[in-house]
């Protein structure tokens, strides 16, 4: 069964550094999402992406965050200057073109900012 993959599984970085989290969505999917889960808290929506542009973003997704689909397969989340409070598990999800399609989640990248 096709699945969403994410790399790396764990990223440790110093505060102020840039990080790029990578996701490979399911190949025929059209909608892409990033979520994050701070330890002990709920999963929070960050951004959705469709047709090479952001379709919706939450208040968490400020100017420090950006997303890109640099080629036909990868979907990346960049944090320009990481803060301690960016430490979280980041999940990528993708879904097909029908509005009722389910979102499929990747395994997550645990980001630790020191």
Partner 1 sequence: AQSVSQHNHHVILSEAASLELGCNYSYGGTVNLFWYVQYPGQHLQLLLKYFSGDPLVKGIKGFEAEFIKSKFSFNLRKPSVQWSDTAEYFCAVITYSGGYQKVTFGIGTKLQVIP
Residues that bind partner 1 (CB under 8 A): 31, 33, 35, 41-45, 48, 50, 55-56, 91, 93, 95, 99-100, 102-108
Contacts by 97-105 with C-beta closer than 8 Å and gap 24+? 97/29, 97/30, 97/31, 101/31, 103/31, 103/33, 104/3, 104/4, 104/26, 104/29, 105/4, 105/35
Q: Closest distance between partner 1 and the C-beta of residue 105, in Å? A: 4
The answer to whether the beta carbons of residues 65 and 48 sit under 8 Å apart is: no
Q: Closest distance between partner 1 and the C-beta of residue 31, in Å? A: 7
Q: Closest distance between partner 1 and the C-beta of residue 86, in Å? A: 19
Q: Which is nearer to partner 1, 12 or 15 (CB)?
A: 12
């Amino acid at each position: 069964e096709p699945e969403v993959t994410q790399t790396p599984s764990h990223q440790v970085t110093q505060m102020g550094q840039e990080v790029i989290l990578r996701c490979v969505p399911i190949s025929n999917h059209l909608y892409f999402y990033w979520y994050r889960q701070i330890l002990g808290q709920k999963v929070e929506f960050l951004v959705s992406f469709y047709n090479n542009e952001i379709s919706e973003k939450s208040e968490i997704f400020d100017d420090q965050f950006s997303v890109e689909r640099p080629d036909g397969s990868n979907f990346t989340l960049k944090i320009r200057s990481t803060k301690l409070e960016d430490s979280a598990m980041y999940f990528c999800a993708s879904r097909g073109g029908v509005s009722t399609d389910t979102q499929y989640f990747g395994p997550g990248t645990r980001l630790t900012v020191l």
